[in-house]
Structure 1
Amino acid sequence: MDLTPSLVSAARALAQIDLGQLAEISGLDTEALVRFEQGLSGLDNASLDALRKAIDHFGVEFLPAGDAGPGLRLKFNTQETGQLLNWEQEGGTPGENEVP
């Protein structure tokens, strides 16, 4: 599936993230993402791959194009996605797991 500006915008809306958050996780420049979403410029294959991985990181899954075209859905419900994002931002040092 081609990663289009409208799919990226829809993915951000589903995940409830802004361009800054997407830029941080994808490693791409915020301005490059703005221009891409506005359809003013494209991205190379490596950048598109990084963008797809970042969108996946936020719990958005791409659905194959069917009769209605490509689609998106959350891998987790909104509450679970919010909890995961909060846990990732808690910081601190990881503790040791004491699993028998």
Structure 2
Amino acid sequence: MPITPEQCHAGRVLAKIDREELATEIGVHVDVIEAYEAGLASDGEIAQLAQRSLESLGVEFLPEESGFGVGVRLKVDRAGARQIGSWEAEGGRVAEDDVP
């Protein structure tokens, strides 16, 4: 399920990026992000691209459950998200690390 415009805005705030940076990251003009967040354009593809980009920065989107509504939280900070991404990109088989 794609994120809402409000979740996109809140996710950007938590990730500490502006509309221009998100637009550059997902390859669209900043006006597209602005229109989406303002609720003037409902584009599922933009929502999915924005969600993936923000999740890579440590933002977690929470689905509606038991009448509490949707939410957004920061799973890890930006530096932590990038470090995890580099660890995941190392390759190799699971359990090949030299960890006792």
Q: Normalising to structure 1: TM-score of the pair?
A: 0.69
Q: CA deviation at 1:25?
A: 1.2
CA distance in structure 1 between the partners assigned to 2:68 and 2:47 by the alignment: 23
1:61-87 per-residue CA deviation (whole Å, 9 max, x = no partner) reads 1112123111111121x4xx24666xx
Identity %: 31
Is the 2:56–2:81 contact (alpha carbons within 8 Å) kept by the matching residues of 1?
A: no
Please name the residue that 1:36 is paired with. 36
Please name the residue that 2:50 is paired with. 51
Please name the residue that 1:61 is paired with. 60
Is the 1:25–1:54 contact (alpha carbons within 8 Å) kept by the matching residues of 2?
A: yes
1:38-77 per-residue CA deviation (whole Å, 9 max, x = no partner) reads 111221x33222111111122101112123111111121x
Give the letter for the 2:30 counterpart.
T
CA distance in structure 2 between the partners assigned to 1:63 and 1:83 by the alignment: 20
- 3-state SS of paired residue (1:69): coil
Please name the residue that 1:3 is paired with. 3
* Number of aligned residue pairs: 85
- 3-state SS of paired residue (2:64): strand
Higher strand share: 1
Structure 2, unpaired ranges of 5+: 83-96
Structure 1, unpaired ranges of 5+: 86-98
Instruction: Provide runs of 4+ in structure 1 moved above 2 Å.
Output: 45-48, 82-85
Provide the aligned C-alpha RMSD in A: 2.5
Please name the residue that 2:20 is paired with. 20
- 3-state SS of paired residue (1:73): strand
Q: CA deviation at 1:4?
A: 1.3
